[in-house]
Amino acid sequence: MRYLPLTDADRREMLATIGAQSGGAKSVDELFRDVPQKARLGAKVAGLPDHLGELEVERAFQGFAAKNVSPATAPFFIGAGAYRHHVPATVDYMIQRGEFLTSYTPYQPEITQGTLQYLFEFQTQVTLLTGMEVANASMYDGSTGASEAVLMANRVTRRSKALLSGGLHPQYRRIIETTGHWQGFKAVSGKPDAEGLEDLIATVDKETSCVVVQNPSFFGHVRDFSTLAEACHAAGALLIVVVTEVVSLGLLKPPGEMGADIVVCEGQSIGNGLGFGGPYVGLFATRDKYMRQMPGRLVGETVDADGKRGFVLTLSTREQHIRREKATSNICTNAGLCALAFTVHLTLLGEAGFRRLAELNHAKASQLADRLAALPDVKLLNESFFNEFTVALPKPAAPVVEALATKRILAGVPVSRLLPGDNSVENLLLLAATETATEEGMGPLVAALKEVL
Amino acid sequence: MDRSQGRTGGIVTGGASASATFTGNRALQIEEPLIFEMGQAGRTGVDLPEPPKVEDRLNGLRRGGEIGLPGLSEPQVVQHFTRLSQKNYAIDMGVYPLGSCTMKHNPRVNEKVARLAGIGDLHPLQPVSTVQGALELIDRLAHWLKTLTGMPAVAMSPAAGAHGEMCGMMAIAAALEAKGERATRRTVLAPESAHGTNPATAAALGFTVKPIPANDKGRVDLDALKAALGPDVAAIMLTNPNTCGLFESEIIEISTAVHAAGAYFYCDGANFNAIVGRVRPGDLGVDCMHINLHKTFSTPHGGGGPGAGPVVLSQALAPYAPYPWIVKSGDVWTVAEDGATVDGQPLGRLKAFHGQMGMFTRALAYIMSHGADGLKQVAEDAVLSANYVMAALKDTMTPAFDGPCMHEALFDDSFLKDTGVSTLDFAKAMIDEGYHPMTMYFPLVVHGAMLIEPTESQAKEDLDQFIAALKSLAERAKSGTAAEAFKAAPLYSPRRRLDETLAARKPVLRWRPSNNPPGSDPMKQAAE
């Protein structure tokens, strides 16, 4: 077996060493003697195949891949919380270096400065993009990060009612509701806000721990939440702003300038491929005054015994391995390697590249929106958007998307997929266009849609 | 293999650095600034086309001012991160005996298949008719996980071990709620040796955590457990093999007693790698168990994530598995998402989309490469290697418990008594010998704990060299004259011991222009 270095001769010698000791064993079976006899399998687990060579493994996965439609082979306009962007080859090369890929959480800082320094750079990049003061070393993803943000707001305010915007991604909302149900806080959700007209100010009261909004919203609308932030603060509540398309921060006023207290982003768009939904990387930023209430790992600057600058994991007294049942969160693993991909890609982009990438996304989406809006019976619901918008079709969107899929066009997400049973969204279709969109893709989409409607 | 490269291996006393170089660099060790200290306006590492001119539809919210991102060209970016990478220890470099973390070999074909077009580039919300192979792949992995654990169901979406714990404990809470017992069963029992995530998870769900003591053999005290069980107990959270590297030999008596008391058995599956292919947790009376794909099934740890933590569930808990469910009707795979009717009462949703697909792909490639025969061998070799290390070091260091152990060997610090050398010092001296230290001070139940997990991936000659190095360090410590040298270690690493107190007292968690006033050269400062 190519991954197992021990030979039978090695195993015999090792057993001899073990057997010679008191309490030793003469066979490998004897090493398992603490396992109750009736639970010890004599043979390998039944009903499963034996090992395969590398060639056979690759073939099996090519078989899986052949049953899917790769976005690279079809006009593609799907977003809704995960976006198709071009990732430079350097990013994937860098994260596959074994020193990064096969290292663990940097518990021994003397020999993990590589990981610690890039996480410090990552934390800094996150504060710059969001306009916030402090950021952690990543969360599992944006969706779980949003739920952690609500828990943090509950700790800070000692309240337990979260107001969730109808513009929040439905799955994010569902995760917060699930957490609320089992962990004992109230999550009050607004109606789906397809038009982008929701006003939550009147609903904020003295029991509210936080209001969770998304910008651009799930339906694509771009809003200024400065007034909402003021209303939250006047009531002693926190404003949490969720960003599922982090590239938008290259063009839009950042949540930090709107008065947000916690900002959570899905960072997938920078450096990380679509990967059928994960692993992604959650960005989590807040104000300095809430630093010690943050979940997750934090990297801080310090000096070593020779006075040289170095980095360490810090403020770990918030964390489960020290605080156990009093920890701010049960989180242990984060998304280290996805954070590296984010940092490498954003470093390649730099100020000029990141801004231009955002401009390109907005321009492509504008072109697509205009072309779709020109179709008879198609209504664009957005006055504002970044790279994603909602259109109302004259008939249910789900079968339309299926019909286009049979023509190998991946047209967008029918809103009903994420909000099943809500008749008001049945005809709505959410489409995104990034820098990867081309005329060769938009043309066939518009033509096919015209045909199907 | 000789790992000393001709060095005699002596520790330099006094902690003096080698003489300074002009640059502060030391051959292959390059002092590397932060990207924010390197950038120049006007430089970029990407070439993007001029955007077509369109009218803004940003609701007047165009971002003003500078974001503050540095500009670097592609070669600078490659050099920067390559230099950083050279400051890391990694499995690819050698023995990484970090107990409880399972640092085994990460095969590269797993990376390759995870990146195939049609797998790595799929959008999670593509029409299900266009992702049939992806859904089949997830189901194939689910089948392996269920069969290897002997459990009837699995929830695939949790993103990591702790997330899986949350999922499993929510399922238990859901089952209690269905029985009308959620308000009365408020206590969760967990051994003092448990991972910190266990009490953190239980407490987050509103349970009161009650510790159960261990006996002198490092296992749960069955009588104490039975005494603690009652109508107020919701569940026991137990790691098996436990965090001392020992199999809970009375596990069936434990699960029988827990069930008789109307409670559930949550098994922390962090150490499943010790028994995979040889023991099915389902045969031990487990109700749910998370599986860290990044441990047992070798998805790369990546400097602390991403991971994946699917949870296998018993018949009693299966109906409560969260959305999404992947189901086959006829020949067609579908995804049952929020609100869909399924054969159960899903507890809600824990994560957007369908789970850590990239990890599923890698884990399945690892599993198929090993097969049922190879996985059994994996567990056997891991256990054999740990016992070999324990036997070889038994007379030099002090094992915390009598053997045999499972996949990791636990030592206490009594062999260092009166030497002036602590577990921490001992670990730091290992760095100078070219090794990543073992897990230190965990589990908490053993004084000065050193938890060594060699895994199945190390050749015997490498284990022999590792054992010899530890023996040499232990003997030097015991000589009673080397305490100062140990305190000075490490000397040869990219950084020496770092001031963690300073980092926590005055947290600097981001770079700011004001951290280093204009004109100052941070690297020069660092070298001085």
Which amino acid is it at A312? V
Q: Are strands B439-440 and B450-452 parallel, antiparallel or unpaired?
A: antiparallel
Sheet with strand B409-412: strands edge to edge: B398-399, B409-412, B450-452, B439-440
CATH number of the structural domain spanning residue B233 = 3.40.640.10
Residues B318 and B398 in one domain: no
Q: Cis before residue A216, ω within 30 degrees of 0? A: yes
* Residue position matching structure tokens 């590296």: A340
**Which of B288, B293, B324, B289 has the alpha carbon at shortest distance from B308?**
B293
Residues A117-140: pLDDT tens digits? 999 999 999 999 999 999 999 999
Residues 229-258 (A) with a CB less than 8 A from some CB of B: 249-254
Q: Taking a C-beta distance cutoff of 8 angstroms, is the pair A212, B19 a contact?
A: no
User: Given an 8 Å threshold on Cβ–Cβ distance, is A64 in contact with B137?
Assistant: yes
- Chain B contact set for A310 (CB, 8 A): 495, 498
The C-alpha atoms of residue B410 and residue B244 are separated, in whole angstroms, by 6
Q: Is residue A346 within 8 Å of residue A87, measured between CB atoms?
A: no
Would you state the pLDDT for residue B425? 98
pLDDT band at A332; cut points 50, 70, 90: confident
Q: Is B75 part of any domain?
A: no
Residue B179 sits in the same domain as residue B241: yes
Residue B181: count other Cβ atoms within 10 Å of its Cβ: 16
| Residue B474 belongs to domain with CATH number | 3.90.1150.10
DSSP state, residue B18: P
C-alpha pair distances (Å), B452 with each of B89, B194, B319, B436: 17, 17, 39, 11
Question: In terms of domains, do B160 and B235 share one?
Answer: yes
Q: Do A21 and B391 touch (CB under 8 A)?
A: yes
Do B386 and B360 share a structural domain?
A: no
Q: In what order do the strands lie in the sheet with A388-392?
A: A379-380, A388-392, A428-432, A413-414
- A233, B128, B138 from B327: Cα distances, Å: 46, 12, 11
Structural domains of chain A in order of their starting residue, each with its CATH number: 71-86+351-452 (3.90.1150.10), 89-345 (3.40.640.10)
Whether residue B285 sits in one domain with residue B303: yes
pLDDT digits (tens, 9 = 90+) for A348-401: 999 999 999 999 999 999 999 999 999 999 999 999 999 999 999 999 999 999
Residue B64 belongs to some domain of the structure: no
Choose among A278, A310, A323: nearest Cβ to B498: A310
Spell out the residues 6+ positions from residue A364 whose beta carbon is closer than 8 angstroms to its own.
A387, A433, A434, A435, A437, B52
Q: Is residue A422 within 8 angstroms of chain B, CB to CB?
A: no
| pLDDT (mean) for B143-171 | 97
What gap in Å lies between CA B57 and CA A362, rounded to an integer? 8
Q: Are residues B361 and B380 in the same domain?
A: no
Between CA B169 and CA B318 the distance in angstroms is 12
User: B227: distance to nearest CA of chain A, Å?
Assistant: 22
User: Is the distance from CB of B67 to CB of A250 less than 8 angstroms?
Assistant: yes
Question: Is residue A214 within 8 Å of residue A242, measured between CB atoms?
Answer: yes
pLDDT bucket at B18, cuts 50 / 70 / 90: low
**Contact between residue B267 and residue B238 where contact means Cβ atoms under 8 Å apart:** yes
For the segment B24-75, what is each residue's pLDDT rounded down to a tens digit?
A: 999 999 999 999 999 888 899 999 999 999 999 999 999 999 999 999 999 9
Distance of residue A438 Cα from the nearest chain B Cα, in angstroms: 12
Test A101 with B159 for CB contact under 8 angstroms.
no
Say whether pLDDT at A325 is over 80.
no
The verdict on B340 and B402 lying in the same domain is no
Determine the distance in angstroms separating the CA of B107 from the nearest CA of chain A, rounded to an integer.
Answer: 8
User: In chain B, which residue's Cα lies nearest the Cα of A361?
Assistant: B51
The helix (H) or strand (E) run that includes residue B463 is: helix B460-478
Domain count, chain B: 2
Contacts of B68 in chain A (CB under 8 A): 128, 351
| In-domain check, residue B57 | no
| B positions 324-363 inside 8 Å of A (CB) | 337-340, 347-359, 361
Residue B9 banded pLDDT, cuts 50, 70, 90: very low
Contact with chain A for residue B136, Cβ under 8 A: yes
Q: Which of A115, A135, A109, A121 is nearest to A303 (CA)?
A: A109
User: What is the token pair recorded at B266?
Assistant: 């949550």
User: In this structure, are B175 and B272 located in the same domain?
Assistant: yes
pLDDT at residue A306 above 90? yes
Q: How far apart are CA B22 and CA B12, in angstroms?
A: 23
**Option in B202, B437, B502 nearest A302 (CB):** B502
- Give, in degrees to the nearest 5, the angle at Cα A109 between B38 and A5: 110
User: Is B38 a domain residue?
Assistant: no
* Residues B408, B291 share a domain: no
**B399 three-state secondary structure:** strand
- How many angstroms separate the CA atoms of A266 and A282, rounded? 5
CB contact under 8 A, B370 and A96: no
CB pairs under 8 A between A and B: 728
User: Between chains, do B70 and A347 touch, taking CB under 8 Å as contact?
Assistant: yes
Domain extent, residue B386, equals 373-495
Residues 325-354 of A with CB under 8 A from B: 325-327, 329-338, 340, 344, 346-354
pLDDT at A23: 67
3-state secondary structure of A139: strand
Quick check: B133 and A326 CB within 8 A? no
pTM of the model: 0.96
Residue A97: its chain B contacts at CB < 8 A?
81-82, 85
Is position B417 within any domain? yes
What is the pLDDT confidence band of residue A331, given thresholds at 50, 70 and 90? confident
pLDDT at B523: 44
**3-class DSSP state for residue B349?**
strand
CA distance B480 to chain A (A): 23
Both B382 and B294 in a single domain? no
Residues 373-412 (A) with a CB less than 8 A from some CB of B:
382-386, 401-402, 405-406, 410
Tell whether B51 is covered by a domain: no
Mean pLDDT, chain B, rounded, equals: 93
Q: Do A349 and B44 lie within an 8 Å CB cutoff?
A: yes
Query: Contact, A430 vs A79, CB < 8 A?
Result: yes
A171 contacts B304? CB cut-off 8 A: no
Residue B377 lies in a domain: yes
Percent of chain B with pLDDT over 70: 94
User: Which member of A304, A325, A417 has the closest CB to residue B209?
Assistant: A325
On whether both B361 and B435 belong to a single domain, the answer is no
- Residue B352 has what DSSP assignment? S
- A251 CB neighbours in chain B (<8 A) are 58, 62-63
| Structure letter (DSSP) for residue B410 | E
* pLDDT higher than threshold 70 for residue B521: no
A360 contact residues in B (CB cutoff 8 A): 48-49, 51
Q: What tokens appear for A283 in the block?
A: 């960005």
Question: What stretch of H or E contains A91?
Answer: helix A89-95
CA of B419 to nearest chain A CA: how many angstroms apart? 22
Count Cβ atoms below 10 Å from residue A404 Cβ, excluding itself: 24
pLDDT at position A398: 97
Residue of B1, B61, B467 to mutate, testing the A interface (most A Cβ within 10 Å of its Cβ)? B61
Of B339, B370, B522, the CB nearest to A1: B370
pLDDT at B266: 97
Mean pLDDT of all residues in chain A?
96
As a whole number, mean pLDDT of residues B158-181 equals 97
Is A64 in contact with B36 (Cβ distance < 8 A)?
Answer: no
Q: Which of B322, B185, B205, B202 is nearest to B258 (CA)?
A: B185
A104 contact partners, CB below 8 Å, separation of at least 6: B96, B98, B101, B103, B301, B303, B304
Confidence of residue B209 (pLDDT cuts 50, 70, 90): very high
Residue B107 has pLDDT above 80, yes or no: yes
Q: Cα–Cα distance between B243 and B400 in angstroms, integer?
A: 12
Interface residue A197 vs chain B (CB under 8 A): no
Q: Let me know whether B322 and B208 are in one domain.
A: yes
- With contact defined as beta carbons under 8 Å apart, do A279 and B356 qualify? yes
More confident call, A332 vs B379: B379
DSSP state, residue B286: -
Q: Look at residue B213 and tell me if it is in a domain.
A: yes
CB contact under 8 A, B57 and A355: no
- Reduced to 3 states (helix: H, G, I; strand: E, B; else coil), residue A431 is strand
